[in-house]
Amino acid sequence: MPISAARRIAFDVLQRVEAEGAYASDVLHAELGPNVKPADAGLATELTMGVLRWRRLVDFLLERQLKKAVERLDLPVAIALRMGIYQLRFLGKIPARAAVNESVELVKRARKVSAAALVNAVLRRAAGEANVPAEKLLAPDLPPAERLGILHSHASWMVERWLARLGQARTIALLEANNRAPRLSCALHDAEHRGDIIAELERGGLRVEPGRLLNAAIAVSGGSPARTEAFRAGKVSIQDEASQAIPLLLGVRPGDRVLDLCAAPGGKTPALVRAAGGNGLIVAADRHAHRVRAMRAQFERLGLPGAHLMELDGAGALPFRIEFDRILVDAPCSGTGTLARHPEIRWRLHPEQFSEFHELQSRMLQAALAQLAPGGRLVYSTCSLEPEENEDVVADILRQNRGGIRLVPPGELAQTLAPYLAPGVAAPELFDDAGQFRTFPGDHLTDGFFAAAFERI
């Protein structure tokens, strides 16, 4: 029996994600070239992301039939089983026969022929309870974090943290948001030709809606913007709306000297370049050479001259002899605000890493502040929901720099952002009392972002 292109692609991507630590979105982007039919691209994406989002529940259902842990299986066998049961449980339009048979063929293709009978038997048994609510299959005495962790497919320690901080209702809303395919948002790079760009995307078969937060953002569905001429010509970029908002908080002015310290993959830098204009100075840095190369390719697609790209470790003393008027530190973080977009993070992250990220973020922020000009503004941001990486870092920096810096007041930050917001969005609602910008996946249909702005006194 031939294996469909969609299942073959999904299987290969999932193997790379597990074996190499790759990100599914990056590998899918590379695999889903112009020769892949849109229907196959859609199913490959659904299978890949669905298996990653629902892996814990899928493994729970598999282990009912296996009588042992899925992790004890050879990786190709585990992936074929996960793909099969995901189709049986979540993709009702796919015939059970196809889900089972093609999973068996995937195992044979991976040269695990001896496991074909096991895959066939396990999936056929699992098909018999595919319509039984998962809640009915759980032991009645499970602790709340364990129960929610299985039902919503997150690590129990993660659920336990959120329950303690957010409460049950908000935690469940977050878990549900993390298991939905994220809204596919784009940044428009030429606001004056907004109508023409949207028409071009629609001619490419996409459905286009206005952004929910920003007036220069749109949301698309029905295909990939990366396959369109508008994308290739640099008129749009794929970027979450909360991510688009972060560089706007800097309030860059024409002629400003701007440092983007953790710039790769380059999504936030274009807004800084345009705001600073031809007389400004933009330095975009990243510690990894391959990410700097990718950023250069991104800027070439956008036709974006004027940014000085450099390889730089931002965690140590910075090599600049000048001070900057504006600095963006979009710091490396756990990414817990992006679990819908990058579901593999929930299986890789460990709780002890939060303190490691905290230390790194504090070092980067302290190094960047040393380059901030008097009266200048620095925006520190993460795509994390965790206090260790957000407000705790801010509190540490304020203690270490007592008297030298201040947080930009929330009213002032809201005023900076207000001109860019979509109709009906009130800027103050995006900030807490301390002036910190926050988005929450369950509330805003965006990734979960945090940002705080400092000013050199």
Q: Which residues are catalytic?
A: 383
Rounded to 5 degrees, φ, ψ at 5 are: -60, -40
Beta bridge partners of 311: 286
DSSP 265-321: T-SSHHHHHHHH-TT-EEEEEES-HHHHHHHHHHHHHHT---EEEEE--TTS----S
CA distance 263 to 295: 8
Closest CA to 265 of 241, 285, 249, 248: 285
346 contacts 154 by C-beta, under 8 angstroms: yes
CA distance 397 to 312: 22
For the record, the structure tokens of 146 come out as: 């364990």
For the record, the structure tokens of 83 come out as: 């793909």
Closest CA to 398 of 455, 353, 357: 455
CA distance 91 to 135: 19
* Whether the bond into 265 is cis, omega within 30 of 0: yes
Closest CA to 371 of 434, 305, 281: 281
CA distance 408 to 198: 36
CA distance 218 to 186: 5
> Identity (one letter) of the amino acid at 314?
G
For the record, the structure tokens of 38 come out as: 């849109």
Burial code (b: 16+ CB inside 10 Å, e: under 16) for 387-409 equals: bbbbbbbbebbbeebeeebebbe
CB-neighbour burial class of residue 385 (10 A; exposed 0-12, middle 13-18, buried 19+): buried
**454: left (phi > 0), else alpha (psi -120 to 50), else beta?**
beta
Closest CA to 270 of 189, 372, 153: 189
